[in-house]
């Protein structure tokens, strides 16, 4: 489906063109108009209210995380469309940029949105390394508010937390810590981990082994790291088969998760060496993974089978709008829309009221989210339930709550 099907004014990261003679004349006329208006002494916001709110969307639309970016965007736009595509009574102008999940381009991409396009809000992103670079730009631009709809980089809401940086998704720690005790309880001792070597993979493995160790589970048998976006798993699977761990703990996501789960099922008997991980292993991937995913147990803050009215509505509407099955990424986009709608309603659309916008976001208690009730922590990260899930007949069945209302430790955050 095309973005424009959602309505609203959507512009894609367009480049400025050189000024023509007509532009120069127009600017002269505009300057004269400003002089005339300022004589009338209108309150600042009365002028601002006529202009659209500018929302930058910085997400991956290419590479292994492309589908994550797409589903976050569609969940977000769907929520805004439900509310008539207005924020605090104002029209919305979107500026959408593909960050390619590339940290090297992140400072530039964010600066273009903040300084070049002068957006009021930046919605982004998926990749923890890109998010860290975004925060560096945003913290120096205190009037711009960033809402992160996925990237779990712990640091964003710990040492590097900032008043104008919020997250509607999770910290990497939260997604894996609850699985440690669960794997220990199942009697597995020799655990091998495998993931992409970047902030998210590192933090998730650390969190899992922290929980595992605390529950008396012991040290990792072996940790395998591969460069981000590599999806060549054959030599790793040969190594796993040779080492014969009791279980494997792994983080991959997007098209990387599809391939890993399929390759694993083809090479290894999961009854002998079960595969565990954060729910990203089986999110937005189940149709492509097919039988290869059956039986995989994960932890996550949402599941398609969560029997809540808000979840049933989300899944039905997402399917109707996009033709695709909703996933956790769509939910995070959707909740990002709710957060923004409420904050902008609280200030009557006045994007200059930064302190009040921040206060409204800090006060968030989501009682109508598809994931169940969550609230914003002092460090601007969701406090939420983490569910234990198992893939059954192509869906993530909820086995129970692995950790209720889990808060990130938020170490080093002073707000
Ligand atoms: C991250 O880089 O923080 C990240 C990416 C994809 C996920 C989860 C976390 O599914």
Q: What average pLDDT does this structure show over 400-405? A: 98
298 CA → ligand 1 middle, Å:
15
pLDDT digits (tens, 9 = 90+) for 199-243: 999 999 999 999 999 999 999 999 999 999 999 999 999 999 999
Compute the distance between CA of residue 328 and CA of residue 284 in angstroms, rounded to an integer.
8
Q: Kindly give the number of the ligand 1 atom that is closest to the alpha carbon of 198.
A: 2
* pTM for the model: 0.90
Compute the distance between CA of residue 230 and CA of residue 5 in angstroms, rounded to an integer.
34
For residue 126 and ligand 1, the question of a CB distance below 6 A is answered with yes
Buried b / exposed e along 384-407 (16+ C-beta atoms within 10 A): bbbbbbbbeeeebebeeebbeebb
SS3 of residue 396 by DSSP: strand
Which residue of 102, 133, 150 sits with most ligand 1 atoms within 8 Å of its CB, as the best mutation to test the pocket? Answer: 150
SS3 of residue 62 by DSSP: coil
Compute the distance between CA of residue 402 and CA of residue 385 in angstroms, rounded to an integer.
8
CB-count burial class (<10 Å; 0-12, 13-18, 19+) for 269: exposed
Comparing 1-15, 182-196, 312-326, which segment has the lowest mean pLDDT?
Answer: 1-15
253 CA → ligand 1 middle, Å:
7
The CATH class of the 21-170+308-383 domain is: alpha beta
Q: Mean pLDDT across the chain, nearest whole number?
A: 91
| Residue-level pLDDT at 50 | 76
For residue 329 and ligand 1, the question of a CB distance below 6 A is answered with no
Tokens matching residue 40: 């009338």
CA dihedral 396, 398, 401, 404 (to 10 degrees): 60
Q: What angle do CA 13, 19, 21 make, to 5 degrees?
A: 150
Distances (CA, A) of 406 to 15, 91, 94, 300, 381: 43, 36, 33, 11, 11
127 CA → ligand 1 middle, Å:
5
155 CA → ligand 1 middle, Å:
14
| Residue-level pLDDT at 46 | 56
Provide the terminal-to-terminal Cα distance of the chain, rounded to the nearest Å.
41
Of 194, 376, 204, 186, nearest to 297 by C-alpha is 186
In the predicted structure, residue 28 carries a pLDDT above the cut 70: no
Compute the distance between CA of residue 375 and CA of residue 366 in angstroms, rounded to an integer.
6
**% of the chain with per-residue pLDDT over 70:** 88
| Residue-level pLDDT at 177 | 98
Q: Where in the chain is the domain with CATH 3.40.50.2300?
A: 21-170+308-383, 174-300
27 CA → ligand 1 middle, Å:
44
**Fold category of 174-300 in CATH:** Rossmann fold (3.40.50)
Tokens matching residue 263: 């390759």
365 CA → ligand 1 middle, Å:
24
In the predicted structure, residue 33 carries a pLDDT above the cut 90: no
Compute the distance between CA of residue 225 and CA of residue 207 in angstroms, rounded to an integer.
16
Q: Supply the DSSP symbol for 112.
A: I
Tokens matching residue 94: 């979107």
In the predicted structure, residue 167 carries a pLDDT above the cut 90: yes
Compute the distance between CA of residue 184 and CA of residue 21 in angstroms, rounded to an integer.
72
In the predicted structure, residue 116 carries a pLDDT above the cut 90: yes
Q: What average pLDDT does this structure show over 156-177? A: 98
Whether 164 contacts 185, CB under 8 Å: no
In the predicted structure, residue 26 carries a pLDDT above the cut 60: no
pLDDT digits (tens, 9 = 90+) for 385-399: 999 999 999 999 999
For residue 127 and ligand 1, the question of a CB distance below 6 A is answered with yes
Distances (CA, A) of 386 to 130, 254, 301, 362, 364: 25, 20, 4, 21, 19
For residue 389 and ligand 1, the question of a CB distance below 6 A is answered with no
Residue 65: cis peptide before it, omega within 30 degrees of 0:
no
Compute the distance between CA of residue 56 and CA of residue 40 in angstroms, rounded to an integer.
32
406 CA → ligand 1 middle, Å:
18
Q: Supply the DSSP symbol for 380.
A: S
CA dihedral 396, 397, 399, 404 (to 10 degrees): 60
For residue 217 and ligand 1, the question of a CB distance below 6 A is answered with no
The CB-side HSE value for 289 (13 A sphere, CA atoms) comes to: 31
Tokens matching residue 31: 């300057």
Q: Kindly give the number of the ligand 1 atom that is closest to the alpha carbon of 253.
A: 10
In the predicted structure, residue 368 carries a pLDDT above the cut 70: yes
Compute the distance between CA of residue 6 and CA of residue 280 in angstroms, rounded to an integer.
27
In the predicted structure, residue 371 carries a pLDDT above the cut 70: yes
Compute the distance between CA of residue 350 and CA of residue 345 in angstroms, rounded to an integer.
9
Compute the distance between CA of residue 376 and CA of residue 365 in angstroms, rounded to an integer.
7
Of 304, 238, 295, nearest to 261 by C-alpha is 295
pLDDT digits (tens, 9 = 90+) for 133-161: 999 999 999 999 999 999 999 999 999 99
Q: What average pLDDT does this structure show over 297-320? A: 98
Q: How confident is the model at residue 29 (pLDDT cuts 50, 70, 90)?
A: very low
| Residue-level pLDDT at 15 | 32
In the predicted structure, residue 40 carries a pLDDT above the cut 80: no
Q: What angle do CA 158, 255, 221 make, to 5 degrees?
A: 60
């Amino acid at each position: 489906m095309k973005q424009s099907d959602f309505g609203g004014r959507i512009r894609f990261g367009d480049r400025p063109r050189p000024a023509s003679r007509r532009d120069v004349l127009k600017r002269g006329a505009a300057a004269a108009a400003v002089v005339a208006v300022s004589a009338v002494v209108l309150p600042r916001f009365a002028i601002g209210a006529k202009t659209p709110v500018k929302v930058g969307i910085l997400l991956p639309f290419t590479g292994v995380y492309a589908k994550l970016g797409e589903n976050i965007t569609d969940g977000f736009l769907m929520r805004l469309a439900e509310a008539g595509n207005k924020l605090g009574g104002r029209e919305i102008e979107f500026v959408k940029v593909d960050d390619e999940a590339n940290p090297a381009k992140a400072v530039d991409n964010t600066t273009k949105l903040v300084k070049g396009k002068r957006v009021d809000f930046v919605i982004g992103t998926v990749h923890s390394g890109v998010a860290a670079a975004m925060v560096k730009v945003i913290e120096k631009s205190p009037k711009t508010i960033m809402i992160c709809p996925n990237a779990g980089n712990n640091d964003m809401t710990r040492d590097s937390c900032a008043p104008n940086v919020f997250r509607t998704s999770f910290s990497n720690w939260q997604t894996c810590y609850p699985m440690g005790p669960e794997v220990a309880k199942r009697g597995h001792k020799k655990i091998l981990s495998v993931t992409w070597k970047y902030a998210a993979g590192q933090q998730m493995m650390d969190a899992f082994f922290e929980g595992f160790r605390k529950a008396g589970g012991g040290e990792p048998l072996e940790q395998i790291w591969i460069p981000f976006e590599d999806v060549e798993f054959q030599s790793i699977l040969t190594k796993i088969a040779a080492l014969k761990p009791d279980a494997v703990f792994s983080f991959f996501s997007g098209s990387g998760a599809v391939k890993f789960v399929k390759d694993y099922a083809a090479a290894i008997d999961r009854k002998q060496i079960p595969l565990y991980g954060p729910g990203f292993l089986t999110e937005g991937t189940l149709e492509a993974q097919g039988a290869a995913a059956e039986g995989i147990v994960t932890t996550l803050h949402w599941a398609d089978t969560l029997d809540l009215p808000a979840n049933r509505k989300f899944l039905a509407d997402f399917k109707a709008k996009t033709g695709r099955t909703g996933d956790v990424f769509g939910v995070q986009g959707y909740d990002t829309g709710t957060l923004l709608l409420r904050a902008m309603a609280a200030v009557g659309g006045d994007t200059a009221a930064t302190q009040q916008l921040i206060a409204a976001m800090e006060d968030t208690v989501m009682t109508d989210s598809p994931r169940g009730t969550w609230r914003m922590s002092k460090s601007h990260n969701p406090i939420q339930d983490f569910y234990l899930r198992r893939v059954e007949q192509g869906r993530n069945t909820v086995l129970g709550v692995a950790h209720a209302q889990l808060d990130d430790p938020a170490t080093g955050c002073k707000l």
